[in-house]
Chains A and B, each alone.
Chain A
């Protein structure tokens, strides 16, 4: 047990080190600009006075390490600074959008994970059958499709031709949960299609990989039913890679939402990020990037910890 705690502690420390390194990259990326940010945004034509005022507004008159500490402290306490384009508090802009994005991602994940696991186990059980082959073909193709292609195909059929669902999913806090789910169904379906394929292939591969090992052979020779072999004998050992893939895909969901949000004009964090990039509203981009990167890293960290504590080899050391 001590052994596991040590590995987990190491992994957590590494995760926070990575977060620290990323916060450094996000803040000091600005320093790489020839000249500085104020000059770059205002352009060559700006008067020196305008640049100087803007520089003070951005805090560029202070030394870099002070700015970094200010920024980090602000991020931790929820004061993320002020947007350049509309002078509003970034925390105000981010708050509701973050919960919208998490809602969409969570919705997609709740559908995608059980579906992927079931399909993966079935494909492993009936491998090389027609079912396995056709599902393999479908997943290879859907992995290769750009998200916006899937999104537009869904819009074309379900929103325009059939008119079942709205093609633009503008949700707000006043809507009931049912209404929210209805409006986010198409974006969630797009995300599900993209990440089910990955998860399902991984589940199938890791179970098939295990099925050739001697103890499975033994179980089969004892006459245990195939379904029970997979669920009781293969799955516990395949859990670590599967959990890893699920977390990777959840992390992917958090980032993949950016494009889907733009297609469906969904009021989420991704939309805000893309808008801010085209306006070069650097403080907002920094705040959004840090949030996205943190969620991504924490999910990966979580997955690693789960795969460590569920690993039978570490749980029962010889």
Chain B
């Protein structure tokens, strides 16, 4: 535990800033009901698009709901969904990727070729196609993005696991008669955990941005649920009057992804063990 803090303290400035920002977002997301001045759906005033005031710090939205409260609840909804999707994608893609690498042969060929086809489709187009066929509901939204994202996880998990799967100690474990699940869990996974963790950060950013983009297009998280992407969409007309309110949820998205990227950069740098070539 002591060691863990030492590593954290040795992080460069940008990574520390990133970690502080991420912690802040998590606290806001977890304690949303305690922090928010009004409820998520509470129609605080009949006046739409009210300006910033001491009652409504960031004004109100198109239905007269408090912007600040919806921003705070939005952290919970958007972050929660993005995190769920990323974890599911890692379970699916990671397990398949490591299995493909450990088994090799036709299983590997089959999984890799199917994966190639899925990766060749632009993700936004694929998602829009699926959503138009099945309609915009949360389960289909989750399913679509999980599949799309799992293809990227599969590729990196397979590539990194391939390097480990040829090691002597894996061969020894196999000859000892260990089952596939054991080999993956005890031999392969611990050795590829570091690059996968960094990838987790990157994938999370991707999912988060993707989800926000879909919501912004009106095809992601549906109202009345508070969500940053749809909040930008709902208040976007204000931009024409020089009001910066619509930029605030967008900035909330931007700041979080920058923070995660800072931390990931540092983790990649650490795990690669490389110093900058100079």
Contact = CB atoms under 8 A, between A and B. Distances in A.
Interface of A: 18, 21-22, 25-26, 29-30, 32-33, 37, 40, 127-128, 140-141, 143-149, 152-153, 155-156, 160-161, 167, 208-209, 211-212, 251, 254-255, 258-259, 262-263, 273-274, 276-278, 280-282, 285-286, 288-289, 292-293, 296-297, 300
Interface in B205-246: 205, 209, 212-213, 216-219, 229, 232, 236, 239-242, 244, 246
B56 to A, nearest CB: 21
Contacts of A140: 258, 261-262, 265
A149 B253 contact: yes
Nearest to A209: B277
A146 B213 contact: yes
Contacts of B216: 146, 148, 259, 262
B133 A146 contact: no
Interface stretch (B90-98, B115-123, B188-196): B115-123
Contact of A285 (B129, B136, B246, B260): B129
Contacts of A145: 254, 257-258
Interface of B: 116-117, 120-126, 128-136, 205, 209, 212-213, 216-219, 229, 232, 236, 239-242, 244, 246-247, 250-251, 253-254, 257-258, 260-262, 265, 276-278
B165 to A, nearest CB: 25
B232 A152 contact: yes
Smallest CB-CB A-B distances: 4 pairs: A144-B257, A149-B250, A277-B132, A285-B132
A251 to B, nearest CB: 7
Contacts of B247: 149, 152-153, 156
Contact of A146 (B126, B129, B239, B253): B253
Contacts of A155: 239
B133 A152 contact: no
A262 B261 contact: no
B246 A152 contact: yes
Q: For chain B, what secondary structure do more than half of its interface residues adopt (helix, strand, loop), or is it mixed? A: helix
B254 A274 contact: no
A292 B213 contact: no
Interface of A is mostly: helix
Contacts of B134: 32-33, 40
A255 B213 CA distance: 12
B254 A149 contact: yes
Contact of B254 (A146, A280, A300): A146
A288 B129 CA distance: 9
A227 B27 CA distance: 50
A148 B277 contact: no
Given A148-B232, A156-B244, 7 more contacts: A29-B130, A144-B261, A146-B250, A149-B253, A160-B242, A278-B218, A288-B125
Contacts of B131: 277
Nearest to A284: B132
B242 A33 contact: no
Contacts of A37: 133
